[in-house]
Chain A
């Protein structure tokens, strides 16, 4: 547990350091929402109607910026070797990487969403349901994305390989995530909202448990 905590703190320190790209991720997220709001013009109703999908698509795009080097550096500079000698399992390593990705990349975006919601005409009533949906759904993005990053571990110039592999896996999260927000925005039918949230919860739960396991096997094959 001590090792888990130490490595997690190290990862977070690296993520929040000045040269880390989390600031650029936040700026990119803000830029997407801002540019779409300008593109749509003064049509506030249109903005409100596309807001749920827009938020999720923006988060997915931002996540792709940060998946690239999740494992690459530690695998190639020998850090992972030293962790393994110390008894850290590849499952725990993958879990720490995915969890720290969520803390460093998704959580700041979730916190920022109510403020940036001004660009896309989000009403105050839906802020809490949106935050809830994002809190429940985004862990799946981080865990699935990090699993994808492990697939391209030994390829330096992987370019678009990872997004092409991972993007289809994000579709259910996008459907249920934006669907849940749309229900609250337009029908206000809470039961349906909670059903969508339950499905998101299930996807996130499965991702948290199984994605590090799949990463474990993928990284292990790189050592064989």
Chain B
């Protein structure tokens, strides 16, 4: 498993968002993308996920179906309960949602709560719970620690390290330095 970016450049409406980005992450590695607001961290992650086109360069990912993207927008439907949301996305990811899985989730106590009553932090936890349900190996996480309390942040760090130990790849766009010893740091300043 590998992510390889070669000299990628991204332009939107004639404005260069980032240019000449090279990046390689192998199985079991984690990388961090740093940069100020508007430097293109989210755009880079969305480009790697294949949602946004790049202007030049190449992106090589061995197993594209193994990508999980945690974006800024959490794709949460107000009418759903947390459990309904997780069941829907688990089914979409070809996984079965079960009680054993719910013990590992960040929101296991709020499974019957309607999403419209969730706080921002709980919504972030729901997005991260989908990550656990997805059983995917390549994680592209955009500001995953936003709104999280200390306990949930530690849980997330554990899950990130656990994924890397299992041979997965984690690429995080983040402002804070909660991730220790990343294999790669990309600065988009």
| Contact, CB under 8 Å: A82 / B88 | no
| Contact, CB under 8 Å: B75 / A87 | no
In the complex, A156 has a CB within 8 A of chain B: no
Q: Which residues of A are found within 8 Å of B71, using beta-carbon distances?
A: 78, 81-82
In the complex, A38 has a CB within 8 A of chain B: no
Known: A10-B88, A19-B79, A86-B93. A81 touches B50 (CB 8 A): no
In the complex, A3 has a CB within 8 A of chain B: yes
| Contact, CB under 8 Å: A78 / B88 | no
A63 to chain B, nearest CB (A): 22
B17-50 CB mask vs A (1 if < 8 Å, else 0) is 0000000000000000000000000000010011
For A75, the closest partner residue in chain B by CB is B73
| Contact, CB under 8 Å: A81 / B88 | no
| Interface class of chain A by DSSP | helix
Partner of B67, one of A78, A85, A224: A85
Partner of A81, one of B53, B65, B73, B77: B73
Partner of A85, one of B50, B53, B73: B50
| Contact, CB under 8 Å: A84 / B50 | yes
Q: Which residues of A are found within 8 Å of B77, using beta-carbon distances?
A: 14, 77, 79
Partner of B75, one of A6, A14, A19, A82: A82
Known: A84-B51, A85-B49, A85-B67. A78 touches B72 (CB 8 A): yes
In the complex, B92 has a CB within 8 A of chain A: yes
| Contact, CB under 8 Å: A81 / B51 | yes
